[in-house]
Structure 1
Amino acid sequence: MDSTSTCYGATIKYLVLILSIGSECSGVIRAQDNKSGLGASFIFGDSLVDSGNNNYLPTLSKANIPPNSCDFKGSGGNPTGRYTNGRTIADIVGEELGQPNYAVPFLAPNSTGKAILHGVNYASGGGGILNATGRIFINRLGMDIQIDYFNITRKQFDQLLGASKARDYIMKKSIFSVTIGANDFLNNYLLPLLSTGTRITQTPDSFIHDMINHLRDQLTRLYQLDARKFVVSNVGPIGCIPYQKSINQVNEDQCVDLPNKLAQQYNIRLEDLLSELNNDLPGATFVHANVYDLVMELITNYNQYGFETSSKACCGNGGQFAGIIPCGPTSSMCSDHSKYVFWDPYHPSEAANLLLAKQLLDGTDKRFISPMNLRQLRDLS
């Protein structure tokens, strides 16, 4: 990993990373074949997998300032809009599955022409399953809007490849990744002051019921647009992130109970939903990624994985765990980014993302990834 000084050297540069060079083209072109069998990676979700969409929104949720992305080799350490020091889980998974370029952010000016053949990232910091989620940030792309944008991409694929080849490419050679739900709790149901009315009028069970119903409709809509290979992550242990630990002033080895209970309650319902969709949508495969237990394993046994702490943010300010003020140029920062599970008050470090991605890609324990891992999903005919 780069040193602290390398990260802060990025303060004079506010360049948006061009992940792949797109070109406008007319007529039908051939999809670029690769030996891996992966065509495109379509990424939906929140700040855990946003690769720069929020750079192009008037929003309070942005990561296009240093030292974010300071260990991202593709940008030379310049900010990219990723809410971590390096690659997201989605970046790593795409690399490992054989993508030559990262999925381009939908809102980026280069998300045109051939660039989209490797995939498109629709994820947005602050976005959620429910449309009201993240309103505190003023602007964000919720899941419904992200699917609206995929519908645009879907038509572009027809123009690029021809209708028949486009459908085959999307159905058989592409993976749809969905990482969403945490903001529906953190920046909706549990939001201090603004959510008080919601919690009075709606029980946790009722709120989660709404989330599941919306997500069912959203995943079904993607299926109707020819998505067939899905990986859907559950909500991680949000009561253990440095932000929650800081504002609730818990001990280093404690997590905040309510957010974790809500996440677990939602996760049970999500697993049932994915089983339902596997049965009800012919030809579709929904892989369940149990991120909650994978992240909890890192948090609980961090020293066994080479980390120094799983409580404190590497980059942040405020409270015992540097977890109140988001990562920015004036933040305090750890000297070795690879020794921290959390990069900032909310998001894992690249070192943690690497370990999590490895389990999703090659794991054989059905408790964590089922009914198959992501390499098996890619190779599914």
Structure 2
Amino acid sequence: MATTRASTSGRVSQAFTILVFFFFFFSTLTASVEAAGRGVNNDKKGDGLGASFIFGDSLVDAGNNNYLSTLSRANMQPNGIDFKASGGNPTGRFTNGRTIGDIVGEELGSANYAIPFLAPNATGKALLAGVNYASGGGGIMNGTGRIFVNRLGMDVQVDFFNTTRKQFDDLLGKEKAKEYISKKSIFSITIGANDFLNNYLFPLLSVGTRFTQTPDDFIGDMLEHLRDQLTRLYQMDARKFVIGNVGPIGCIPYQKTINQLKEDECVDLANKLANQYNVKLKSLLDELNKKLPGAMFVHANVYDLVMELITNYKEYGFISATKACCGNGGQYAGIIPCGPTSSLCEERDKYVFWDPYHPSEAANVIIAKQLLYGDIKVISPVNLSKLRDL
């Protein structure tokens, strides 16, 4: 098991990293955004899943940030190098291939990948396979990710679904649209990590928040906002939900690099906050299952799934669970995000982490399969293959 320790070292390095981060993303801000709208559909025809509605952050962003003036983008090579649907061209996904959302949709029988809401071709019948509202840098709290200038927070994403909901009425008629959304579709929410990494724990910008709010208070605010956001979706006929908890954010290459940790160490405070939030998230979902008639809120234990990969990576065929396959800076290539000038590992399917923050497609496949077919230790009260058929 990976050990953890609280680390106060690296704060100066962390501030320096901010400057490097800004320089890197300003230099790539003019990269082409067209790839996100090309070739993201596969040819698989399924009959099990209606629409896949995906909300969240960069872990599941499929290209929405391509259409924003933002510092958080992945629409440059070698991102997407293994994404077959685009011929290896970047689409705005923060990984080398498919996200967990992509893989789950495929396995559940979706005819196409959920289309980014901001993409020009997100209209008409293309919406019937689902819509992706996720945005790199987004969080539950509206202030989260403001360092990136623009991003779609969860409140905005729910607002955008309201637009989609009206479009479904126009496409199918009100009665059929309600049935399609409530009985055949799945709502996937992967969010929360940025609320810690790019809000409560972020150097310089978080000083005011951390002075006025204890961790318990901040987490309480997060969950109250999430409760409201999930309830709003329910009021728009969402019934089948899967909500991922926050992963071991103290173990990502970025955190290990700036804090100069050993391979078997993780940042204790970050993981502690994630676990505090995760315990209360599970209670919130249990409560909503009791209070909202006809709804099923499924809890995905992403923290344990990712920690299992990090701890026992060799058993899964990986050669590294600490170093970014694509990145630059420090022992774990964890300072500068993946881009055209980054170093790139030779065996991309042998690394748990694609870049300083996000899993590789190989890791995403393992995680997704557990969410689809795993037992209640990793996903409860039912796995996603059973949720689809309810």
**TM-score between both structures, scaled by the size of structure 1:** 0.92
Quote the Cα distance in structure 2 between the aligned partners of 1:213 and 1:141.
Answer: 19
1:374 aligns with 2:387: no
Distance 1:249 1:97, change over 3 A: same
Compute the RMSD of aligned alpha carbons: 1.3
Cα distance, 1:18 vs structure 2: 2.5
Give aligned-pair identity as a percent.
75
1:19, distance to aligned residue in structure 2 (A): 4.7
2:322 is paired with a residue whose SS is strand
Is 1:18 the counterpart of 2:18 in the alignment?
Answer: no
1:91 corresponds to: 102
Gaps of 5+ in 2: 1-30
**2: distance between equivalents of 1:66 and 1:14?**
13
Distance 2:36 2:165 in 1: 25
For residues 13 and 233 of structure 1, what CA distance do their matches in structure 2 show?
28
Select the residue among 218, 235, 242 that pairs with 2:229: 218
Q: How much has 1:100 moved relative to structure 2?
A: 1.2
Number of residue-to-residue matches in the alignment? 357
Q: Distance in 2 between matches of 1:12 and 1:192?
A: 31
State the distance in 2 between where 1:13 and 1:41 align.
23
Q: Does the alignment pair 1:285 with 2:305? A: no
Change (3 A) 1:101 1:144: same
Q: CA deviation at 1:194?
A: 1.0
- Inter-partner Cα distance in structure 2 for 1:258 and 1:100: 42
Q: Structure 1 pair 19/225, CA: closer, same or farther in 2 (3 Å)? A: farther
After superposition, residues 292-307 of structure 1 pair within 5 angstroms as 292-307=303-318
Is residue 334 from structure 1 mapped to residue 345 from structure 2 by the alignment? Answer: yes
Match of 2:153 among 107, 131, 142: 142
Deviation at 1:14, TM superposition (A): 6.5
Asked whether the 8 Å contact 1:19–1:101 carries over to 2, the reply is no
CA contact (8 A) 2:145 2:199 kept: yes
The answer to whether the 8 Å contact 1:18/1:110 transfers is: no
Alignment equivalent of 2:209, drawn from 194, 198, 213: 198
Structure 1 residue runs of 5 or longer lacking an equivalent are: 1-10, 22-33
Q: 1:19 to 1:112 in 2, by over 3 A?
A: farther
Residue aligning to 1:114: 125
Deviation of 1:13 (Å): 10
Give the 5 Å matches for 1:1-381: 15-19=35-39, 36-364=47-375, 366-380=376-390
Q: Give the superposition deviation at 1:97.
A: 0.3
Distance 1:378 1:275, change over 3 A: same
The answer as to whether partners of 2:95 and 2:358 remain within 8 angstroms in 1 is yes
* Conserved? CA contact 1:44–1:178, under 8 Å: yes
Residues 129, 142 of structure 1: 8 Å contact kept:
yes
C-alpha distance in 2, partners of 1:102/1:19? 10
One-letter amino acid of the structure 2 residue matched with residue 18 of structure 1: R
The answer as to whether partners of 1:13 and 1:78 remain within 8 angstroms in 2 is no
Residue 36 of structure 1: how far off its partner (Å): 3.5
Shift of 1:266: 0.2
Runs of 4+ in 1 over 2 A off after TM superposition: 11-21, 34-37
The answer to whether the Cα contact below 8 Å between 1:134 and 1:187 also exists between their aligned partners in 2 is yes
Q: Using the alignment, how far apart are the partners of 2:36 and 2:101 within structure 1? A: 18
Distance 1:311 1:211 in 2: 29
Q: TM-score, normalised by structure 2?
A: 0.90
Cα displacement string for residues 240-296 of structure 1 (whole angstroms, at most 9, x for unaligned residues): 000000011110111110000000000000000000000000000000000000000
